[in-house]
Structure 1
Amino acid sequence: MFTLAAPRHAVALDKPVGQWLTNLRRPGGLGKDPERAAQRAQQLAAIDPDWNPGQLGWTVDWQRHWAGLATLLAGGAGLEEIVPGVTHHGDDIGRWLIRQRRDWVRLNPEQQHRLDEAGVKPAVRHQKAAARTNAKAEATKGSDAFQRGVAALQRYIQREGKTVVGRQHVEDLPDGTSVRLGVFLSNHKNRRDRLTDHQLAALAELGYDWAR
């Protein structure tokens, strides 16, 4: 499976293609002229329809690992063979696969659908206590709130062409809910050390250098 989900440090023919692709994915990265930007987006999509996974709700890192899994499966590997230590272009697909099964509830519906079609199922967990159930529910709730915040940020940045958000700004989402975007951004910046790698990567891809 061909992918443009190159890591930021990737180099090809002595060219920093990883950084180049990262720049293209940022708001305004395809140029200020709307027609030219649309044409460039079509050209990239012709190479890889998922060239900008942030628009789908996940990170470039997730997309690259997913492409690696798809390539291994297409090459004849069975899911039971893809264990920690099995890599594709340096990425440990086996270890990544375990995390997807374990953290299934944190994935969005399209991620779950893609994995399900590949035969991947969520890990079966036996709940031992009510406290553990409550903790899982809180984690899911927090993950959903973060995803809404990222979606609101994407809408704001695409519309305004900037990443600076006023403290009191509220962004309305298509489903009728609202996100206090300024507060969301400030809180997550102040609690950066508590964010997961996935959350930091999502914010960094939107152009927030403090999340790197």
Structure 2
Amino acid sequence: MNTERQDWRRGAEAALRYRQREGHLDVPYEHVEPEGAFPLGRWLSDQRRTFRAGTMTGERAAKLEELGIVWDTADAAFEQNLGAARAYYALHGTLAAPRSATLLDIAIGQYLTNIRRPGGLGKDPGRAQRRAAALAAIDPDWNPGTLGWTVDWQRHHAYLAQLLAEGARLTAIVPGVTRHGEDVGRWLATQRRAWDRLNAEQQRRLGLLGVKKAARARTTALKKAVASGPRAGGTAFQKGLEALQQYVAREGRLPGRAAVERLPDGAEHRVGIWIGNQKARRDKLDRAQLAALAELGVEWAAG
């Protein structure tokens, strides 16, 4: 027992020195204190395990808390990231952050992406439920995948709602009107064109903002392009157009070059490369085909 008490006292003293030097007790597991070559990181891990098991004395627990120990490092990290999430929401009015977003030196976009994945909130059901509730208290729609649409869709919808709340007229939100670098106007035009591909809740939410399905006349060029494409490559153009329309309806933007879209018949279409190929053969496309591409937001087809 004397040896055990001496070892504990050595650990507490090493923790005190570390706290005085670094200002915290966030000690890496592999850290060894130079004085006495004491394995402080491993020792603190052992203390947390003893505390969770309920076998630590109140006196020792109080001493370690006085030094600033964090009993649950996972919860501490979550709280830090939750603070960044609150700050992001204060700036953007949504937690539908792009993956590249950073704030307060935290990669908040990647973090939110990670916790939206199955099991991302932790393996313990109770803890996961508490964390989900904390995120929902910031933004009820923090995980749009559970609602049936993408983070990208949610972000654009939030920005559209903000523009309208600030006094913008819906008719004035046309392609080129942006918020936080996102082309909300182009996204809005896409939602109108692809209205029938939206789920009922998406349609309801857009309807509350005054958005309606595009007039039938706007789909004429698309239908004409499908029906009257040139014999050589007509079917290929139709497939590409179908893949592009499906992608834009879901994501609200044009695909990158590496994008691959799965069509209803199960076939995969390299829609990103297809757009580049159409641009290379622009002078061989007829007016209806160019108009159909322009309707889907392909800028070079409108020129």
Q: TM-score range by the shorter chain?
A: 0.5 to 0.7
* Structure 1 residues without counterparts, runs of 5 or longer: 148-183, 196-212
Distance in 2 between the 1:55 and 1:192 partners? 26
Instruction: Say if 2:155 is the partner of 1:78.
Output: no
Instruction: Tell which structure's C-alpha radius of gyration is larger.
Output: 2
Q: Unaligned stretches of 5+ in structure 2?
A: 1-91, 228-237, 251-261, 273-303
After superposition, give the CA deviation of every residue in 1:134-183 in whole Å (9 maximum; x if it has no partner): x9xxx7xxx7xxx9xxxxxxxxxxxxxxxxxxxxxxxxxxxxxxxxxxxx
Shift of 1:194: 4.5
Aligned to 2:183: 92
Residue equivalent to 1:2: 93
Aligned to 1:35: 126
Query: Aligned-pair distance for 1:85?
Result: 1.2
SS of equivalent residue, structure 1 residue 101: helix
Equivalenced residue count is 150
How far 1:99 moved relative to its partner? Answer: 0.2
Residues 18-38 of structure 1 show CA distances to partners (whole Å, capped at 9, x for unaligned) of: 000000100000000000000
Q: Matches of 2:96 and 2:134 in 1, distance apart?
A: 15
Q: Structure with the greater relative contact order (CA < 8 A, sep ≥ 6): 1 or 2?
A: 1
AA aligned opposite 2:135: L
Equivalences for residues 98-117 of structure 1 within 5 A:
98-117=189-208
Deviation at 1:15, TM superposition (A): 1.1
Q: Higher helix proportion, which one?
A: 2
State how 1:26-175 maps to structure 2 within 5 Å: 26-126=117-217
Cα distance in structure 2, aligned partners of 1:194 and 1:38:
39
Q: TM-score, normalised by structure 2?
A: 0.44
Task: Give me the identity figure in percent.
Answer: 62
Instruction: Give the deviation of 1:192 after TM superposition.
Output: 5.6
| Number of the residue aligned with 1:193 | 270
Spell out, residue by residue over 1:82-128, the C-alpha distance to the aligned partner (whole angstroms, 9 max, x if none). 11111111100001000000110110000000111100011011457
For normalisation by structure 1, the TM-score amounts to 0.63
Aligned with 1:3: secondary structure?
coil
* Matched ranges for 1:176-187 at <5 A: none
Distance 1:35 1:14 in 2: 29
